[in-house]
Structure 1
Amino acid sequence: MSYNIQAKIMTGYLCIILCLGASLLIVNDRMTGLQNEVEFISKHDIELHDLINQVQKNILDMETGMRGYVITGDDQYLEPYEAGSRSWPDNYNKLHTLLANNPEQQRNLEQIKPLIASWISNTGEYVITLKKENNEAAVNRHFEQNTGKKIMDQLRTQFDSFLADEKKLTSDRIANLTQSNTNVKIVLYTIVGIVSLLTLAVALILSRSIVRTIKQVVRTIRSIADSEVDLTARIELNTRDEIRDLAEATNRLLGSLEKQNWVQKNMTDISTMYQGVTDIAALTQAFVTKLAPMLEAVYGVVYLRRTIGGQEVYVKTAAYAASGEEKGALSFRSGEGLVGQCALDKRLFLIDSLPEGHIAITSGLGASSPRSLLIAPILVDDRVEAVVEFAALQPFVSQHLTLLDQLQEKFGSAITNVLGRMEVERLLAESQMMTEELQAQSEELQAQAEELQMQQEQLRITNEHLEEQNLNVEQRALELKKAKDELEAYSVKLQTSSQYKTDFLANMSHELRTPLNSILILSQMLVETGAEMETAEVEEYSRVVNTAGQDLLRLINDILDLSKIEAGKIDIVTDEVNVTELPQLMKSLFGPVAARKNLDFEVLLHPEAPKVIATDGQRLQQILNNLLSNAFKFTERGSITVRIEPAKPERIKELLPVQEDEAVIAISVTDTGIGIPIDKQQLIFEAFRQVDGTTNRQYGGTGLGLSICREFTRLLGGSIVVRSELHKGSTFTLYIPSRRETDSQGGTMADEASAASFAEVAVTRDPQEEASYAQENEVEDGVGSDVQLFKGKKVLLVDDDSRNVFALVSALEKKGVSVMAAEHGKRALEILEEQPGFDLVLMDIMMPVMDGYETMEAIRHRLGLTKLPIIALTAKAMKNEREKCREAGASDYIMKPLNIDQLFSLMRVWLTKQVNPF
């Protein structure tokens, strides 16, 4: 991430501003605290003192009024007494409330209240009553005993002590307030110092980060200008600003200069090698020997152009690091192999990732296979004089290619010069001999010239024939490559399809066995204990069995529909469908589902939509049911809206061009659910394909619903499209034309049984498991009473299917077992951590959030419960499923649909022996 100089400076200023802001907040907070303390003292303490005085005044008024009434007998003297008697409880309660933050003073105040009440009842009211009865003797006796005076003296003493404590608390608060004021000053001075130091530190860091790299770049540029730079050196980069850009540009300049310097140096070394060489074999050998190490090659070959039999052939002339047994050819024709093709195309070939065994480079310690191949033509005046080939253990780099490219012309010129000199020497040696024989051979030469002309013509014809053959070979090679690519693509597609079908079979096994498991368990319990059950319990069992049977029938119907479609056994019966009835029909079917999931559900009918269309109403309803079922399935909150309206002409032209003259209705189902990723929006319509086909997927299902929708839509002559955004919802739009005549998709329903045949996987125990099972039954025989074994045991049932949970809980509770259920693996782990002491765990495999495999591994390793018996309950009829469950941590394994007696037998075995399964 780039972090430029401006950003750095702004960051520094921002840090300073933030520090100042934080300082102001701290100081403001302390000042607010001081203000609150001042207000507390000025309001709370003064009000507290006033209330103490008020209570004392109320008591004094009562005492004075009582004495005046006793002396005079006049009722007017009772008015202060009565006023004080009414006021003191209120003042006391207010005073008690103000002391809420001082429990000790509250307790002191509470000790005063009984004295006041005692004086009122035993002195005040008592004396007033005696006076009203004119019992002067009793009044005199009371005053002689000084009972009231003693209580009043005690009250004054306690009030004085209470008030003294409050004055001391007020003095302490004032002292604390003074100390807080001093602390605020200290904090303010400290913050000013810290902000100043932080400002200096930020300025120092920013300046150093900017200046350091600039100085390094300046030194490097100066050394380049003075030709004293080390081209292998690079500027170290620690910043991400414009200085980094400058340093990187300088490093690129150094890298470019280093490559150029390397190329020029090696060019000079090789150019000096050509001087004085007069033999072509020596020239090529010296060239390949010199160039191969420069290119870091471990093998090199030079092929020179030769004309043999009137045909250009590239012959192997020199080699570098060649072994005794060469695999490569000694010569190539133009266009033959990579060497011949390089000469024909006049371009360089660079191949990486050579296969093992292409060529072996041997040494005294062994042999190695090169991984990169470089083949280049040597051109002179646009004519290929030679082809060089190099092999290396590592890829060739750009500077190697640049060096070879610049050497082409010079090496080609050297080849031409040496060949020319060799030809001149040969001609000079032969010229004298030819002069002597010239006269004698003049006639023979004439004949040979005529013959040579004829041979050249034949060679031309042969070359044309070879060129035609080469073209045919190239064309055939292209065809073979195209066929190979098609086969590879088909193979990949076949493997992908096989994997999707495997996942589908696993999920379908789970979907079919889950309701079947509930049916078998509950029906067996009805058979065995039906007479002992109450009517309500039998009705509940029957309801669950019926629901599971309906789910099983729906799954089988989906498979049958897809099989009949693929076999061409679906008949389309065209009839008039009343479009205005569709909203009420859909609301009646899915309104309860929306209410149960607390979702808004609307069906909107456009006023211009056709009232009646001609189509297959049954198939249309089946399509809409599948779309709405998916919408409710994948929507947890929000709304689901269905819109019925006439299709737009541009959409009809795009999707149903042959239906442009017919009425087309558009029905869209919009939800606010989880949405579909863009790369999955087409595969969801394919059979056996699902967005999530794993065992721990969040949502169940077989993945056939949308495939059936697409096929039914095609049979109705319509189209279905989807528009979706992940985590925001989806819209499926169905375009259905009004068919003018009855269309049918060939075939009848007579062969439903064969078209819908379904191979069920039968899972049985292997011989070793049978022996283990028999041994476990033998152990069981010695256990004793079954009822006593199960009674009081604590079992954790982990299963996401409520029907299975109901069936198993019902069966286990009848044995006296205490069962706790968890809907997925994550919840099971939480229960085991919160409530230890379970005797056994029944673990389903395919669950949302966390599947059975992960959960068992977490129980064994994360929770450390290695001795807790775990019985895996799985409906996956896949190979090696038992071993997979054991590896994940299962103590034993049982297939769905469950045999309840077999389950009880396994539980008895593991509840008795309680051993570590690992």
Structure 2
Amino acid sequence: MLKSLQINIRAKIIVGYVFIIICLGISLLVVSDRVNSLQEEVSFVSTHDMEVHDLLNLIQKNMLDMETGMRGYVITGDTQYLEPYDAGSRTWLDNYNKLHQLIEDNPSQQRSLEQIKPTIQSWIKNAGEFAIKAKGANNQQALNEFFYQNNGKKIMDQLRTQFDSFLSAEKKLTAARVEQLAESNYNLRVVLFSVLGIISIFAILVALFLSSSITGTIKQVIRTIRDITASEGDLTTRIQVKTNDEIKELAVATNELLANLQKQNWVQINLTEVATLYQGINEIKLLSETFVNTLAPMLGSLYGAVYLREYVNGQTRFVKMASYAAIGEDPASDSFGLGEGLVGQCALDQRIFLMDNLPEDHVKVTSGLGVSAPRALLVAPILVDGLTEAVIEIASLQPYQSQHLTLIDSLQDKFGSAILNVRGRMEVERLLSESQMLTEELQAQSEELQAQSEELQMQQEELRMTNEFLEEQNHFSEQRALELKRAKDELEEFSLKLQTSSQYKSDFLANMSHELRTPLNSIMILSQMLAENNGEMQMSEVVDYSRVVYAAGNDLLALIDDILDLSKVEAGKIEIMADEFNVTEMPQLMKLMFGPVAEKKKLDFDIILEENVPNVMLTDGQRLQQIVKNLLSNAFKFTEEGSITMRIALADPVRVQELLHRDPEEKVLAISITDTGIGIPIDKQQVIFEAFRQVDGTTNRQYGGTGLGLSICREFTRLLGGSIVVKSEVGKGSTFTLYLPNAQETDQDDQVTMYPAGEIAAAGEYADVVAVEALSSEFLHVINDSPVTEAIKSDAQLFQGKRILLVDDDARNVFALVTALEMKGVTVEVADHGKMALEILQGSSDYDLVLMDIMMPVMGGYEAMQAIRGQLQLMDLPIIALTAKAMKSEKEKCLEAGASDYITKPLNMDQLFSLMRVWLTKQVKKH
């Protein structure tokens, strides 16, 4: 039944393609399922893990906001600082709950997160709320104890550790998920290649089966045809085909054709034989040789030649391309034009020339046995579309028969077409070989595109949704890129400033070392000479050396004060004390101070005070005088001849608006100092205001001085709300003009406090001087304005026999203090550090006063004073703190640690004795 069923070749091919398509569809479904699974895993990692990190960062930010807000409120007392604290306390629990719910699939991480919650609540209760309440209640002692115990920082350190541990565990989970994604991706590739391999095997098997069923019968037909051809014209053989398809129909038609061919004559047999010789020939010469070598024996010819049409020098000629059995030919017979000889005439007339009974000397045919002369000559044109493409010339010993002419006539069209085809093939063969490679590539790409088309249709909807999301992300990325570019520009600018600042600091430290070593050098040399004096040095020399040592020490102290002033200004910690300053006293003061300098250098020094200048203005008089003195010092320093003029006037309203951006109607003081000195180049007029810089723009000391004066002037002027303008010409002198407005209570831009005169006792480093003056006044009040001799006598009685404990680790300071105190009749006990002082006081507390250094080994001054007040309970024992630190908060720290009073190093012995008189007098009154 199956054999009777007719299945044609088309049906077989369609069945094969359908089977392959079904296999491809199944493979696409498998791969699509794996791709969807992988996409879900990627989405989980990209959304879940990022959200966990974001929520943890938000909780950390909430804690940082609360801590910053709490500290800002505690420091300033301003409730605005509580806004980030309140915001953080409201939102941290929501973020915590979101994070807790997000990691519900991980009990271990949930437990780690749950351990963080009580720590946060503990900080809020025991640190944040406690400090805020204490600050609100103005309980400074509770705040001091809170920050001293440092409980809040300990909780925050524990919280940071817990956050780091949680984040580290989360990063490990993310890394594990990423590794799982990599493994899934690898598995997907394995599945894809496996499916493709299986499908390829099935496709090959189907192709083999179909091709075998099709080509089997075709090969059978080919074998039969070849057998017929091999049998030299025996057309009795028939083709036998068992399949029931188009091949069978082809075999039947072939058998009918064979039956018809049997009726053909030998002309048709030879025609078919000659026609088959043209196949596979791609060269015109080979075609000609094959044609003539086949045709000549077929017609019984002993000579033959083929002439092909060629263009030579713009003329049409017929050139001999191949010959048969030719020997000893005349070279002139290799080419003929139209009408030349029989060949040319045949091409021109386009007809066959047949000649019998040729003369014996017309052409010779040579063999090994002899030479023969053909009797018949046939010259025939080969026509294609009315154009002569070639001419055939053959000769035979026998006359040509009619069947020979019929064969020649039948071959004309076939041979002419062969000539054109071979010539065309030779022209396009190169292009064909190149295009064949491109065709194969395009075919392979077409198959791939067809397979990808179906996959792209499935992904089209996903891409549409992804495209919308990417558009939003692209907009966000563009904004982020702009922000990053601005941040990059700011960082580059900051890097340049930082590099400049680093070089500036290096120069500053190098020059600072030089300036400090200069006075120290004279101090050390002269001190060594005094120490090595064996009595040979006269008293006048000792006094001179001591005076130089004292002057060098004052210079060193002044330099340190300048550096401290500059550093305080740059750190924003300097305090300006606003008070009424008598402007009319300044000319006399400056005249007294710089008049001798002018006389010594033989310079004219004039001070002009204009009439419209107000008598009094509100400013820091000490800072103003320091600025003016520095400017005058520079003027005298850089002026060798001529004059120096100081003018005090009201500023031009236009300059006030331009420089200070103030109301032009406001009265602003303009103090200008003009000299006839060396002058300043224009490009160096801003450099001179930098520390350690002078007119030449370097840090050299050509004109002496530290180079800090103008830098301090500029900073003090800025703090006073004013401006300094310099106008100079090289070789003609300079004019420095100080524009100074009335001071205001506060200046938030510079973060500098302007203290009224009534609060001067709280104003930074000057509190020490005021305290000493107040104590000295109190001492004078105690002695009731007695005469000097009575005061000295009372002073000797006050110090005589007093026991003082000196706690200091510096042997030089100890030697100097003990010597000075013993000259007052005081008994001094020395302790090298705080621990030794405690041991001495535990053995005997019968001391009238303690002088306590701050920076010491083993136990410092702060800890020692706290132990004296707390551990030893010596609450009434006066303690005077001695410290080299000159910072604002140093006095408060000493008083909080238990000191009765405070004095800075280097010590002014008169101030120290004044403080001792006050506290020893109080001790006398108590007893």
How does the TM-score come out when normalised to structure 2? Answer: 0.30
Structure of greater relative contact order (alpha carbons < 8 Å, 6+ residues apart) = 1
How does the TM-score come out when normalised to structure 1? Answer: 0.31
